[in-house]
Structure 1
Amino acid sequence: MNQEGESYLNLHRFVLGRKVLNQSAHHLVQDGATFHVHYWGVVPKHYDNSLHKHSFFEICYVIDGKGTYMEKDCVYTLQKDILFISKPEILHQIRSEKGLALVYVAFELIESESSNEWINMMEKVKQCQQPVIEVKEDTTANLLWKALLIESIKTKNNFFEYILPNLAASLIHSLLEMFIPNPQANIQANISENTSSLLAQAKLFIKDNLANDLKLSHVANHLHISGRHLSRLFVSELGINFSKFVQKERINQAATLLKTTDLTIKDIARETGYLDVHYFTRVFTDIMRQPPRRFRALYMNSEKIIYTDD
């Protein structure tokens, strides 16, 4: 085996990275899904454990060694490059006489913070009838897991807190895709990627054009899709309709301008797409619980208090 492969097999050097992962990659948000990671594991020698079950998903990857995995009275052989999943509430057991080199992750989807598409996808994973699969060394999941372990033991830099959670989220997405019992899984993944791209473009266009008339039809035309399609994207991916999202962005921008500029209330209303300053004031007050002028005054007063304390 080449030197790179040997370094990956030597899991001892990644054990410290496990602590870093558990500290920095436990709340993952990506592409409409929010995952809570209960724990990451790196075990150079895993022997027997008792028959048990979890209330969450656990996915393990065998780096080296031999053993067995038991689930529902079925016994599966474990060896290098085997990936296996333990689903919620399913009794299972791992056994190995000489020890398995394992990496693993335990997680669950936070449904209240995830799209319906992801909730449905996780239900499909629960229906998987083949909990043990063999993977090639150059599969996406394998390479992502390797990259994640390497990043976990690097010296922290300015990008560390960004790279680690995003790598971790991409890994979980890639792992789950392998256990979806659907021959169209890859097609669905491409559709999901296209959906996320369209939504990102729509959100960016809205944020860059808050001063303009942002009708659903205008934004849809810019993206070359139907208004109905765009409307469905916002509801399914964000849980909010198009007009509510635009209103939220307008008011958030107005609040920022009130705090960071000397613009008049009338000018801020125009900058955020409200031609009628009275209507702007009414909407702002409903959402922020304070009229614009008082909101600015309260913020300025709080800033003065902070400076006095320092």
Structure 2
Amino acid sequence: MKKIILGLSIVLMVVLLVALTPLFLTKFGSKLLSGTDELYILTSEEIPENTSTLYIAYTGSNQLQPQLFAIDGSEQVKVSGGYGQYKLASVVPLLQMEGKSEQETAAALARALGLPVSRIITLKEQIPQPATKSELVSVLYKSLFKQLTHFAIPREELLFLEAVRQAPILEVLPLNESQKAISRLLDLTAQVQQFSLCSVAIVNTTGEPGQARQLANMLERRGGRVVRITDTQVQSEQTILHYHAEASSCQSIISVVKTWFSKPLEISENSLETEKYRSQLVIFIGMDSI
């Protein structure tokens, strides 16, 4: 009898989770999930060989609803760290197989996409390729239920689920069109005005051409104001950020810069360097970034 009661309790709990999760998102999700203003990537521990689509969620903010983007993953992109060219959809499985950390994988994806990737959500469940909206919802629900039964609140999955629920249809777009669409969306965020108050100079010390321009492109897509990019023969082993003593507005853009790099950055106040480059923030791209 006890086993029957326990079994019925589990079934009832699952039914309640299925019924109440949409209500939770509707009633309480706006408070729990607002104000993050980030980009999340969805992936799985079980990645099929025919992986063809990359799913990115803009997590929403106090001003904007979450949105979902499905990107054609068949396009070739350069993977940092000396890996060369790979299909976009293959970047995450490649780096997971290599044992790279989430920060290293997110930084490599940020460079491949030209966008600031904040988090990578890795599900235990396999994601169909390509997935319909209902299939993505189903996979995310399964992940949520497993974690909720252990009394965990999987905030990242909730954020992604809300973006999927808000999506009218899942239209797979080429990378360049997705970059433009996400840039237009990010231009509407409240952070853009604050980002624009911080003038940024980028100095490439690696000897590898294009490093400063790539970072500048990402920051400009995010609403940053890059006033100078340059190369120097004086190499720096570590990437260094110097900000002006009176430039409090630069702290927000620094958090975006961090998404571009796989290792901790040396960050310090140095008004002499910022004045030298006529900016409020100077980024010296070091050898540790390539």
Q: Which has the higher contact order (CA 8 A, sep 6+)?
A: 2
Larger Rg: 1
Question: Which protein is richer in helix relative to its size?
Answer: 1
TM-score by length of 1: 0.29
TM-score by length of 2: 0.31
